[in-house]
Amino acid sequence: MKYILSFCALIFLFSCTTQKTDSKYTRIQYQAGACFGSCPIFTITINPDRTAILEAEHFNFSKEFSKGEFSNPREGTFNGVIKEADYNKLISLLNDLDVKSLKDHYGTKNITDLSTSYLKINFTDGSSKNIEDYGKRGSEKLRKVYMFIEDLRHNQQWAKVK
């Protein structure tokens, strides 16, 4: 019985460890632009050590839309450390994308009230990739990355610095 419990404890310990993902990215930056409604306006920059800066402009933390929100001061600058599991998930999503092979521009500007996202990736080899996506509809995998990054505003610990 003692051996069975030891074996179970060992399995439990191994299952609780997170797998570390080697990052080939030196900086990940995502910017969400304005629309004619209450689209969140922010920039988030994530470093390989998982430190991050959130520059929140408008509509990031409010629940209800008001045009008066634009006259309010920007929401602020926040620092945080992305949880290891979330960072590893983000790296996995980016690796799935094959970022360097993506187009530089997505979306058509025939509709004038959609938000534009900007994904800027710097790689360890010194190269970079900038993606502009009007309407945030580049591809299914790209939309998953956008949604995941946008969710980081709400599921991480952020400390306001200004």
Rounded Cα–Cα distance for residues 54 and 60 (Å): 10
Task: Examine the pLDDT at 43 and tell me if it is beyond 90.
Answer: yes
pLDDT digits (tens, 9 = 90+) for 54-79: 999 988 886 666 666 767 788 999 99
Q: What is the dihedral of CA 56, 157, 132, 35, to 10 degrees?
A: -40
The CA–CA distances, whole Å, from 130 to 14, 74, 133 equal 38, 25, 10
Give the pLDDT confidence of 123-140 residue by residue, as tens digits.
999 999 999 999 998 899
Instruction: In whole angstroms, give the CA distance from residue 29 to residue 61.
Output: 20
The top-scoring range by mean pLDDT among 2-11, 55-64, 138-147 is 138-147
- Contacts of residue 107, defined as CB under 8 A and 6 or more positions apart, other chains included, come to 114, 116, 133, 134, 135, 136, 137, 138
Q: What is the mean pLDDT of residues 142-153?
A: 96
Length of the chain: 162
Q: Give Cα 52 to chain centroid, integer Å.
A: 10
Residue 160 binned pLDDT confidence (cut-offs 50, 70, 90)? very high
Kindly list the structural domains of the chain, giving each domain's residue range(s) and its CATH number in brackets, ordered by start. Answer: 25-160 (3.30.1560)
Please, is 23 exposed, middle or buried when counting C-beta atoms within 10 Å of its C-beta (0-12, 13-18, 19+)?
A: buried
Q: Give residue 14's Cα distance to chain centre.
A: 28
Tell me what pLDDT residue 152 has: 97
Give the model confidence (pLDDT) of 80-118 as tens digits.
999 999 999 999 999 999 999 999 999 877 777 889 999
Helix axes 140-155 and 84-97, enclosed angle (nearest 10)? 160
Torsion of CA 116, 157, 63, 59, to 10 degrees: -30
Phi, psi (deg, nearest 5) at residue 8: -65, -40
In this structure, how many other beta carbons lie within 10 angstroms of the beta carbon of residue 83?
Answer: 15
pLDDT, average across residues 30-53: 94
